[in-house]
Amino acid sequence: MLGLEGPCWVGLAPDGGLAVSEEFGDVQLFGSARQPLGSLGDLTGHPFGSPAGVCTDAAGGVIVADQRRRQVTLFRQAREPICLVSEGLRRPLGVACGPQGQLLVADAEDGDIKVYQSHLELD
């Protein structure tokens, strides 16, 4: 239906759309009517290794866990991507935002959920 290649993880994107990671590919964005908006890699020039979990923060930024690059990156409209976490990650798969802006990362390699304090201060 959406023309995806190896969809792995799906999360809500800003404005009621979807962000879908593709295995060994990119993260595709869709609008609220499920119309394609483009990929994060093409829109930002960011090279992904193996994108996995995706989520949206309170400010509307899309956060992506990249298990091959061992990092979590924040993508905000019309801004350069920001690496939020890279140290101490071995195989980040899932990401979520907590109610006070915490970043939660599921690291499959060591079986932990890692909690980082507010990433919203990176403006």
Name the token pair of 76: 């905000």
pLDDT of residue 123: 44
Domain ranges of the chain: 7-122
Instruction: State whether residue 121 is helix, strand or coil.
Output: helix
Q: pLDDT, tens digit, for every residue of 48-80?
A: 999 999 999 988 899 999 999 999 999 998 789
pTM of this structure: 0.91
Contact 54, 92 (CB under 8 A): no
Q: What is the dihedral of CA 21, 23, 25, 31, to 10 degrees?
A: -20
Classify domain 7-122 by CATH number: 2.120.10.30
Element (H, E) at 13: none
